[in-house]
Amino acid sequence: MNPTKPFLNIVLLLLFSLVFPICISFETITQNQPLKDGQILVSYQKTFALGFFTPENSNRRYVGIWYNQIIELKTVVWVANRDNPLYDKSGVLSINGQGNPVLHTQNQSIPIWSTNVSTSASPTKNSMAKLSKEGNLLLQQDSQKVIWQSFDYPTDTMLPFMKLGLDLRTGLNRYLTSWKSKDDLGIGNYSYRIDTTGYPQLILYKGQTPLWRAGTWTGLRWSGVPKMIPNYVFNASYVSNQDEITIVYGLIDPKVFSKMVMDELGTLQLSTWHETRWVEYWSTPQETCDKYSGCGPNSYCDPYNGDKFECTCLPGLEPKSPGDWDLRDASGGCVSKQGMSTCNNGEGFVKLARVKVPDTSIARADMSLSLTYCEQQCLRNCSCMAYASANESEGGIGCLTWHGNLVDTRTYSDTGQDLYIRVDAVVLAQYAQKKGLTRKKRMLTILGVFVAVMFLLMILVVYWLVRRKKKDKRQNAYSNSVASNLPYFEDSPGRRDLDGTTRNSSSPLFDLRTIIAATDNFSVANKLGKGGFGLVYKASNVLLDNTLNPKISDFGMARIVGEDQIEANTNCVVGTYGYMSPEYAMQGLFSIKSDVYSFGVLLLEIIIGKKNSAYLHDGPSSNLIGHVWDLWREGNATNIVDLLLGETYPASEVSRCIQIGLLCVQEHAIDRPTMSTIVFMLGNDTPLPSPKQPAFILKGTYISTNRSTSEASNSVNEITISKLDGR
């Protein structure tokens, strides 16, 4: 053995470590196992890592937590020594004699940062720090009891399952604070916290000045965050009781990386990681109306005013300084009009719809009152300026009343709460008259539309009757012509059948030339089989053209379109009632989406066990598709499943098939999925989009009281249209 070989191996290892630094990872930090610069602490499943880092274009050295699995971009979510950075790589994070994580240098034991919490006796032997899979640094004793956690001391980032808000038992207040800059991670000017004054609300501050207000929790979302709705990625929960006032964001899919950041420019941003970058889901402030009290007290901001000034006084009020409003400066707000009396003088309330309710720091809450009792309570108190529901998720139970100036109110286009403003009798009468005129105008509009629709229906009925009469005449003439030219025996049953003199099941006879043409001269390629009945041949392929491409192959349509067409626009409509797509039945447009519609009808028929054309229902929708749609909107779609299945079917799979069927029968062809997409939907568990209203929903308006309960009295017409065209 060469004695110099081990020595050379050691030299090569040292050179390799100098060129390519080795990063050592741990799962825990103890007194006997500190974390030095260059080493990292990894979480369970290695989602997060804790270690030393330096921001880009900076000489400051910090201890922080980042996403370990995002290698394209180091995303820091928590910083320990944000106001006390190191300036070299001599840092060590260890457990001291009191059982606290302490940051110090290798040459000095003076703490640069520490958790500084009280621990039990003999902490040096049983205290350890580890990183959870949610990115939470935990200080534990006896491997179970958590005595400190980084989630209680957030920096600029809120992670899923992290709480924001106040712990009323300990006084701990958790809130986000921005960095000073991208290279200085000290505490900046902006913060995002829950204000518990009056009725709790979330506010973004610059120093101590409100910059943007998320508003109150409505039971579904924060009133000032219309995009915060439950979806396939996020959900949120709010807790307000005697122990805490907090909010928690959760993730429905644990594989998704998500974070909310209060950045150094004062922007609050919620984003998710997609492939190689962070994608913004929501951020604020963005609009002029997002600015806190931008229109002053007793007014509201409407960003949908077009070219007009976005600020408007609340009902019954007028600008305090009209000259300033002319210059688009509404900071002075609005005041009551001269001579206005709103106390025991016939006053009432006017509704302002789809708004972010005013600042609730001066509001009072009674969570036991309904909206009706809330109005009565506010009306009895002359200092009550407005009221609104405090909870949208439980039938409107919960009352908010405002006693003072109404500050920071704005409107939204399609969401928000209803705010009821106190006005005097004069303004109340004006709004009532305006509302009456609006209602009258609406009724006249509805009546005009109804008359127009009825007139159009009458024209269509007359047109249909005329066309049907002409069609019957043409069919009779065509039948007589065919009967006179087919090579039947004079007394054959088939001849008498076409003449209309008798009806039986006998088949017509064809001459040899017709059969030779249909079978390509008895080609072997068209031979299907043989048996006691002789040889059986097939005609040409009705599904594929000569180049094996799909074509329009409906036996009726194939006669009115080109041989190799895959789409058509025709005035001749052929097909079976109940299975034709609306664009084909009404406009003569035929495409691959027409087959999708027919497939959707067949899928629903299979599940229900009844045919669309044979289905009669006494409810609002008289046909099968309409009835399934009504039940789907009510959340009771599985109630229509064939009773022969009993309880043996998987409800989730049947519900998914019903949803796919409704997606296939949507009214507009562009909304329907392709057949490849349908195959993917049937074979996977991915979330499905909500279907839009199907076509051919016929609403019944009259149910006869003399209708027989016996289904034997009903007859079913299964009509197949051979040709329907106009002159």
CA 604 to chain centre: 25
337 secondary structure, DSSP code = P
Give the rounded distance of the alpha carbon of 373 from its chain centre.
34
Query: CA-to-CA distance for 561 and 179, rounded, in angstroms?
Result: 69
Q: Which residue has the tokens 């909500």?
A: 690
Q: Tell me the CATH number of domain 541-703+715-721, given options 2.60.40.2470, 3.40.50.1000, 2.70.98.40, 1.10.510.10.
A: 1.10.510.10
pLDDT in the model for residue 340: 80
CA 170 to chain centre: 38
| Total residues belonging to the chain | 727
* Cα 667 to Cα 655: distance, rounded to the nearest angstrom: 20
Asked if residue 231 lies in contact with residue 211, where contact means CB atoms within 8 angstroms, the answer is: no
CATH superfamily of 21-152: Bulb-type lectin domain (2.90.10.10)
Q: Which residues of the chain have pLDDT under 70?
A: 1-23, 119-125, 143, 230-233, 394, 435-440, 478-509, 528-575, 614, 616-622, 696-727
- What pLDDT is stored for residue 712 in this prediction? 39
Return d(Cα 714, Cα 700) in angstroms, integer: 17
How far apart, in Å, are the Cα atoms of 603 and each of 575, 591, 625, 658? 18, 19, 11, 8
Query: Distance between CA 382 and CA 422 in Å, rounded?
Result: 9
Q: Which two tokens stand for residue 257?
A: 């990386």
Give helix then strand counts, H and E, for the chain: 12, 41
| Residue 115 CB partners (closer than 8 Å, separation 6+) | 100, 101, 139, 148
Amino acid at 713: S
Residue carrying structure tokens 């509001």: 363
Question: What pLDDT is recorded for position 530?
Answer: 66
CA distance 348 to 342: 8
Query: How much of the chain is helix, strand and coil, in % rounded to 5?
Result: 30, 25, 45
SS3 at position 126: helix
Query: Between β-strands 268-274 and 277-284, what pairing exists: parallel, antiparallel or unpaired?
Result: antiparallel
Cα separations in angstroms, 214 against 174, 203, 284, 410, 487: 17, 6, 9, 12, 85
3-state secondary structure 343-365: CCCCCEEEEEEEEECCCHHHEEE
Tokens 């201890």 appear where?
63
State which amino acid sits at residue 336: S
- Contact status, residue 456 vs residue 469, Cβ threshold 8 Å: no
CA distance 96 to 92: 11
- The pLDDT assigned to 21 comes to 43
User: What pLDDT is stored for residue 623 in this prediction?
Assistant: 79
Helices (H), ranges, 569-648: 582-587, 592-608, 624-634
Asked whether 92 and 26 are in contact (CB, 8 A), the reply is: no
- Give the three-state DSSP class for 456: helix
What does R_g of the chain's alpha carbons equal in angstroms? Answer: 38
| DSSP for residue 641 | S
93 torsion bin: left (phi>0), alpha (psi -120 to 50), beta (else) = beta
Rounded to whole angstroms, the Cα distance separating 608 from 606 reads 6
pLDDT of residue 709: 38
Q: Which amino acid is at 381?
A: N
Give me the residue label for tokens 């829950």.
Answer: 194
CA proximity to 386, closest of 370, 368, 374: 374
Which class in CATH covers the domain with range 154-286?
mainly beta
Give this prediction's pTM: 0.59
Are residues 116 and 107 in contact, defined by beta-carbon separation less than 8 angstroms? no
Model pLDDT, residue 532: 55
